[in-house]
């Protein structure tokens, strides 16, 4: 299977492998790493449209970017068409593409009427996309789930509305809001959406190997695959999917390579956030890089007790130079 590059309005993607927007994960250091392994597009964490307009410091920090990660997709969440439209104008020059979150199942977001709560209100979806479309002329994508719950699966209706209102592509994570992250993603729904709309469709959910990515392409006809949790501590997955799609040998990283990337990730993190936050945030990433290696659980325990960056680096170097791939 040879996948061609993908065009989203004026934006040409060099690869159909995309980094998923993930709150608490897809910050600038993480995106730089994933981009360096060949992601065609990377998305920010979701950014509050209300926060944008109030110019919150935290919101602004979510929008910090680096030239090497472009094209960058910025994801906004909110429930008010006018506020989303205004926020879209404010970020117009900050990224190469804008996405609207209509899938987040987190209670705090839903209570504000945003994320997957929007799926219960197709009329509001219509007004939001229409208003943002008029306010923002760049590539516009919408990310949805299959519906609110089993009784109200409506991704095809939402998909048709999105296309009619001028969205340039759609991402479907084929679980309902009530499923949250449980069970399996129903990939066949991605295929149904692809047959229903004529704009590009990105598939999201449960890709952890290059073979699964290829399977999603062939079973659903989707135009791009999105990598979320499968990329934790494993940016090589993106490179491997690209290799498989190009019929090239799929290469496995060795321990030295894993250490190189883990330390680079840590360095990017420290540059942006400083020592304290790096120690706290990078623990989970370092454990993910160590997964599958001998002694990983002991490394994990020791990391939790380490609260100084120098020691975290020392421990990481020692672990990766002494360990071997688990049989």
Ligand X SMILES: Cc1cc2nc3c(=O)[nH]c(=O)nc-3n(C[C@H](O)[C@H](O)[C@H](O)COP(=O)(O)O)c2cc1C
**Position 173 contacts ligand X (CB under 6 A):** yes
149: left (phi > 0), else alpha (psi -120 to 50), else beta? beta
**Position 103 contacts ligand X (CB under 6 A):** yes
Catalytically active residues, by annotation: 104
The phi and psi torsions of 152 (rounded to 5 degrees) equal -135, 55
**Position 124 contacts ligand X (CB under 6 A):** no
Residue nearest to ligand X (CB): 228
Helix or strand run (H / E) with residue 319: helix 309-322
For residue 191, give Cα distances in angstroms to 16, 152, 266, 285, 302.
16, 19, 38, 33, 45
**Binding window for ligand X (CB under 6 A); candidates: 120-128, 130-138, 211-219, 221-229:** 221-229
Evaluate whether 173 touches 144 at the Cβ level (below 8 Å): yes
Cβ distance to ligand X smaller for residue 232 or 319: 232
Cβ distance to ligand X smaller for residue 13 or 25: 25
Report long-range pairs for 10-14 (Cβ below 8 Å, ≥24 apart): 10/138, 10/139, 11/71, 11/96, 11/97, 11/138, 11/139, 13/40, 13/41, 13/71, 13/224, 14/38, 14/40
**Position 205 contacts ligand X (CB under 6 A):** yes
**Position 104 contacts ligand X (CB under 6 A):** yes
Site track for ligand X across 142-171, x = CB under 6 A: -x----------------------------
Among 15, 27, 50, 75, binds ligand X (CB under 6 A): 75
Minimum CB separation of residue 323 from ligand X in Å reads 26
**Binding window for ligand X (CB under 6 A); candidates: 83-91, 202-210, 254-262, 283-291:** 202-210
Q: Which residues pair with 172 in a beta bridge?
A: 144, 203
* Interface residue list for ligand X (CB under 6 A): 20-25, 45-46, 75, 101, 103-104, 143, 173, 204-207, 227-230
């Amino acid at each position: 299977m040879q996948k061609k590059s993908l065009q989203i309005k004026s934006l040409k993607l060099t690869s159909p492998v995309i980094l998923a927007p993930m709150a608490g994960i897809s910050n600038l250091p993480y995106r730089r790493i994933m981009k360096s392994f060949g992601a065609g597009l990377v998305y920010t964490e979701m950014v509050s449209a209300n926060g944008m307009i109030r110019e919150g410091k935290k919101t602004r920090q979510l929008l910090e970017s680096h030239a090497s990660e472009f094209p960058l997709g910025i994801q906004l969440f909110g429930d008010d068409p006018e506020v989303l439209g205004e926020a879209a104008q404010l970020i117009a020059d900050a990224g190469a593409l804008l996405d609207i979150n209509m899938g987040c199942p987190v209670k705090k977001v839903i209570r504000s009427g945003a994320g997957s709560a929007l799926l219960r209100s197709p009329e509001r979806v219509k007004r939001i996309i229409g208003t943002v479309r008029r306010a923002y002329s760049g590539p516009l994508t919408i990310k949805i789930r299959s519906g609110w719950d089993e009784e109200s699966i409506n991704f095809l209706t939402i998909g048709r509305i999105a296309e009619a209102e001028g969205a340039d592509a759609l991402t479907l994570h084929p679980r309902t809001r009530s499923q949250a992250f449980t069970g399996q993603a129903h990939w066949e729904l991605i295929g149904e959406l692809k047959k229903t709309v004529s704009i590009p469709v990105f598939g999201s959910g449960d890709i952890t190997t290059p073979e699964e990515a290829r399977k999603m392409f062939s079973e659903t006809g989707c135009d791009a695959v999105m990598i979320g949790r499968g990329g934790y501590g494993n940016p090589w997955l993106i490179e491997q999917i690209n290799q498989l799609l190009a019929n090239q040998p799929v290469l496995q990283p060795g321990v030295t390579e894993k250490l190189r990337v883990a330390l680079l990730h840590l360095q990017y993190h420290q540059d942006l956030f400083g020592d304290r936050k790096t120690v706290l945030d990078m623990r989970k990433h370092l454990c993910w890089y160590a997964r599958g290696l001998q002694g990983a659980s002991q490394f994990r325990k020791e990391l939790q007790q380490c609260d100084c960056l120098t020691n975290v680096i020392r421990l990481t170097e020692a672990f990766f130079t002494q360990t071997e791939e688990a049989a």
